Structure 1
C-alpha cells in the first residue's frame, strides 16, 4: 500500500522576522518543529503574511522543515530542466497560501496554477500535481476562505468546486481554513446557538430574526459555503468518515485572540477520486500547536497505490 498523508495548518501571521528579531526567529523555528512532528508527506499552509509575495516565506519554511516547495515549470528546452517556482499562491490581502512536500515527491512540470482576486477570492488558492515512485499522480489544493463576508465565501466555494473539477480524473485533496461551519450538523453542532450576541458574529452566522429596532434575536451558523462544497463533490473527509459518538473535535476557539466559540473550521476536502481512498483522519491538538496558532493542524492519510487508480 502506497499511502500519502496530507496536512493543513493556518500558521497565524507567519512572517519574516525583522533584523535581530530573536522572538520571531524562535517562533518560526517552533512552527517548523510542529510541522515536522506531523509526519505528513504534504503540508498545505495558510497565512504566510507579507505585503508582497509569500514566495520567500514559503521557501524559508521549506528550508526549516527539510521539505520541498519548488514547482517545476514546463520544459521548452534542456536548459529548463531545473527551472521552477515556489508553490506559493499570492493574495492581494497579503495573507498567502502554499504547499510543501517531502523529498521523494515531485511536482509534475507545468501543473502549478494559482488563483486569487482575479476570480473573486479574498485570499488565494493553488493547485499542483505531485507524484512519486510509489504513488500515482494526485492534486493538492491549499485554500483560505474569506473571514468576513459570508456571501463571498459562497462564491469562493463555487470557485473551489470549479477548480477541483478541472482535475476530476485524478485524486484531489484540498486543505484550508474554511472560516465557516461544516455542512453536517451531526458531526458539527451549531457553536453559536444559545450564545449571547456580539457584533463580530455577523461575519459567521445568518440572523434569522431581528427585533423591530433591528437587534438580532435569533441566528444560526452559516453552513452555506460548506454545503456548496459538498454538493459540488468536495467531501469533508473527517465528517464523511466519522462514526461517533459525539461531534468531531474543534480546530479553533482555543486561542486568547479568537473571540469565537470552539468550532471545526479547518477541514480537508477530497473529490470522489480521493475520498474513497481515505484510510485515516486526525486532528493534532498539541500544546505547542495551540500556543503558536489560533488553528489546530488536521491531516488525512490516503491510499494512492497506482493499482487503485
Structure 2
C-alpha cells in the first residue's frame, strides 16, 4: 500500500510523508527494536526514516506500541524533532519539520491516543494541541493519528425556505454518533468511549464522548475530512468480526489553520487488501505547498 502511494506521488510529481502507528516493540531494549523495525519498513518501501544519520524518526511510548515517520527522498528534514511520551502520553507522538518547497518548513507528526481513560484522552489532546500550535512562530503542520475517539468538528449546512416552511443556516457535527440509535444497545465497553447519565426512572442515556475532539477543534487543529466536507467514510469497525463499537471514524489527519486553505484532497483507502491487513484503514490528505497561508 505504501509503495503504491509512493508511486502515485511520483507520478503526480508530489512528495509523501507517512505517519506510522503501532510499531510493535517490547522488552528491555524496545527503543532499538522499534527503530530497527521502522528502518526495515523504510527499506522495504523505498522511503527515508532517519532525521539524522542512523537515527530513525520513532517515538517510543510507554506501552509496546510506538509511532514513527517515513518520507520520500526529495524532501529533507530541517530539524524540529520531537518525541513526546513518558508522563505526557499513554503511547507517544513523533514530530519533525520538513522542507517541502513551501515558504516555510512544514511540521508533520504521528500520534496514538489512549484506548482507555476518557479524561486522560482529553488531557492528552491539550498536550498534542500545544505541540502543534505553540509557540506563535511555529511552522504550519499536519498530524495523523488514531485518536481513539469521535471527532467534534462541525460543517456548515445552509438553510432553505419555501412557501410551506424552512430551516435556518446551521453548523452540525461532521461525524454522526456511532453509539446511539434504534439498533444501538448499551454494553460495558462503552465506558471507554461514551458519556452517560440517568433519568428519574433509572434509564441510562448515553452519547459519544467528544471532549478530546472539542479540545482539538476549539484549539485550532482542524480535521481534514470535515474541513473539506468530504463524503463521510468509516475507518474502523470492519475487522475483526464482532467489533463491539461498530463502524466509526476515529482515525484522522488534523492540520493547523494555515494548512486549511491549502487542502486539496482527502481519501480513506478502503480496499480488500487494507481491510484484511489491519483493523484501521489508511487515510490520505493532499495539500498544495504554494497555498499555505502566511
Give the shorter-chain TM-score range.
Answer: 0.7 to 0.9
Cα RMSD after superposing both structures: 2.3
Q: Aligned partners of 1:211, 1:198: CA distance in 2, in Å?
A: 21
**CA 50–63 in structure 1, closer or farther in 2 if over 3 Å, else same:** same
Asked whether 1:249 is paired with 2:224, we answer: no
Length-normalised TM-score, structure 1 = 0.78
Instruction: Provide Cα deviations, 1:57-116, integer angstroms capped at 9, x if missing partner.
Output: 1111111110001112xxxxxxxxxx351000000101100110011011114x211001
Instruction: Provide Cα deviations, 1:155-182, integer angstroms capped at 9, x if missing partner.
Output: 1100011111236542210001010011
Asked whether 1:65 is paired with 2:45, we answer: yes
Q: Aligned partners of 1:218, 1:139: CA distance in 2, in Å?
A: 41
Q: Aligned partners of 1:181, 1:307: CA distance in 2, in Å?
A: 27
Consecutive unaligned residues of structure 2, counting only runs of 5 or more, are 10-14, 154-171
Length-normalised TM-score, structure 2 = 0.82
Q: Aligned partners of 1:210, 1:37: CA distance in 2, in Å?
A: 56
**CA 274–232 in structure 1, closer or farther in 2 if over 3 Å, else same:** same
Higher RCO (CA-CA < 8 Å; seq separation 6+): 1
Asked whether 1:97 is paired with 2:67, we answer: yes
Assess if the C-alpha contact under 8 Å between 2:268 and 2:282 holds in 1.
yes
Q: Aligned partners of 1:278, 1:307: CA distance in 2, in Å?
A: 9
Q: What's the counterpart of residue 174 of structure 1?
A: 143
1:145-156 pair list within 5 angstroms? 145-156=113-124
1:208 deviates by 2.0
Assess if the C-alpha contact under 8 Å between 1:168 and 1:271 holds in 2.
no
Q: What's the counterpart of residue 163 of structure 1?
A: 131
Instruction: Provide Cα deviations, 1:206-257, integer angstroms capped at 9, x if missing partner.
Output: 01227888xx72110011101100111100111121066xxx1110111125
**CA 198–143 in structure 1, closer or farther in 2 if over 3 Å, else same:** same
**CA 279–88 in structure 1, closer or farther in 2 if over 3 Å, else same:** same
Q: What's the counterpart of residue 199 of structure 1?
A: 188
Moved more, 292-301 or 274-283: 274-283
Assess if the C-alpha contact under 8 Å between 1:191 and 1:263 holds in 2.
yes
**CA 285–241 in structure 1, closer or farther in 2 if over 3 Å, else same:** same
